[in-house]
Amino acid sequence: MVGAGLLWGQLLHIRPTQTVFISTCLSLSSTPLVSRFLAGGNRVEREGDLDYSSVLLGMLVMQDVQLGLFIAVMPTLIQAQSGDLDSLLFGGLRVLKLLAQVLVSLAAVLLLCLVLRSFIIGPYYKKLHTESKGNKEILVLGMTAFVFFMLTVTEFLDVSMELGCFLAGALLSSQGHMVTAEVMGCIEPIRDFLAIIFFASIGLHVFPTFVLYELTILLVLTLTLVIMKFLMAVLVLSTILPPSSRHIRWIVSAGLAQVSEFSFVLGSRARRAGIISREVYLLVLSVTTLSLLLAPLLWRVTTHKWAPRIERKMPT
């Protein structure tokens, strides 16, 4: 996506710093939205099939890791905006240093997860389970504290907090199906409440008058972006997936075809830093919102065609 963005930027004579930001921002996909899609149907996979949900979630988690790195690199884009050669060279060295730091941080996080899984999470859950007999609030509070501990650790190591939350859930699920079912039964109301707030707040970022004035342009840009992301994902997955599981590339690509809600945050920071103009910022917000609205339709079409084993039950 970044390479395609740079190519279009050269053709349209757009500054490379702005092109890199926009293409990176639009290449991210929405993890909460896709999670709701995956939770909306029961999958019965054939033996030997690669579970597309694990592939899709794995790619989304890595996007969250890249998001943390991109936020750290944004000051370098601001320096490059000034055109100062010394600042640009210094920024390149800074990017390499940040990349090395992220790799070391990821190694440290994985080592910590291994220690927690082997020695701590099991006794910790058993203690909570013993203390929470007839009192589910203790279990919920203990699990929430563990999630906040993991996101604090990953934030301290300059890795995204989203990765810490994901790893906390993975560590809990490693204790078995009974543990997962009990924890999910306790936190499901909280999860649904937060999901409602998240999806409702998306509309607060839209400027209705701007959408009405530029509706034709926005529709063309949104359809072009969604189709391009879908086709590029299909092309990449066709080369990396094993031949027996290449049919899932269509479903995974549909899950990656929309734009992440993090573009709201990145766009706001870039607007304040002067990387993009106000008009470009409004375009990014509007295209992101329209792509999120289009995502359920694309998901239903692809699952209907390529995953007839799925109980097609869309989330409301």
294 vs 131, more confident = 294
Of the given ranges (63-77, 136-150, 210-224), which has the lowest mean pLDDT? 63-77
Whole-number pLDDT of residue 310: 40
The model's pLDDT over 71-91, given as tens digits with 9 standing for 90+, comes to: 766 766 666 555 554 555 555
Whole-number percent of the chain with pLDDT over 90: 18
Instruction: Name the nearest CA neighbour of 22 among 36, 6, 39.
Output: 6
Region of poorest pLDDT, from 26-40, 69-83, 153-167, 226-240 = 69-83
The predicted-structure confidence for 262-289, as pLDDT tens digits, reads as follows 888 788 878 887 778 888 888 898 999 8
Q: 69-73, 188-192, 287-291, 292-296: which has the minimum mean pLDDT?
A: 69-73
Query: In this structure, how many other beta carbons lie within 10 angstroms of the beta carbon of residue 54?
Result: 10
What confidence score (pLDDT) does residue 268 get?
82
Span 101-114, average pLDDT: 86
* Mean pLDDT value across residues 23-35: 88
155: in domain: yes
**pLDDT value for 182:** 79
232: CATH: 1.20.1530.20
pLDDT of residue 92: 58
223 has pLDDT over 70: yes
Q: Are 30 and 67 in contact (CB under 8 A)?
A: no
**What is the pLDDT averaged over residues 171-182?**
80
Question: For tokens 């034709």, what's the residue?
Answer: 216
pLDDT at res. 261: 84
- Residue 305 predicted with pLDDT over 90: no
Neighbours of 72 (CB within 10 A): 16
Q: What is the pLDDT of residue 314?
A: 45
Highest mean pLDDT among 7-16, 176-185, 223-232: 223-232
Q: Which two tokens stand for residue 138?
A: 């203790």
Q: Is residue 75 part of a domain?
A: yes
- With H, G, I as helix, E, B as strand and everything else as coil, classify residue 7: helix
Distance in angstroms (rounded) separating the CA atoms of residues 211 and 96: 40
pLDDT at 206: 78
Hey, what's the torsion of the CAs at 190, 195, 201, 206, to 10 degrees? 180
Residue entry with tokens 């790893």: 167
Q: Where are the alpha helices (DSSP H) in the chain?
A: 2-12, 16-27, 31-39, 52-82, 85-115, 121-131, 136-156, 161-173, 177-202, 208-213, 215-240, 249-256, 262-273, 278-306
Range of the domain at 36: 2-306
Residue 313 lies in a domain: no
Stated as kind and residue range, the H or E segment containing 14 is none
Q: How many domains, the chain?
A: 1
User: What is the sign, positive or negative, of the torsion defined by CA atoms of 150, 31, 54, 158?
Assistant: negative
* Residue 25 belongs to some domain of the structure: yes
Work out the angle between the directed axes of helices 262-273 and 52-82 (0-180°, nearest 10): 0
Rounded to whole angstroms, how far apart are CA atoms 205 and 282?
9
Q: Is residue 314 part of a domain?
A: no
**316 within some domain:** no
Angle (deg, nearest 10), helices 215-240 and 16-27: 70
Given a cut of 80, is residue 114 above it in pLDDT? yes
Q: Residue 124: inside a domain, yes or no?
A: yes
Residue 235 lies in a domain: yes
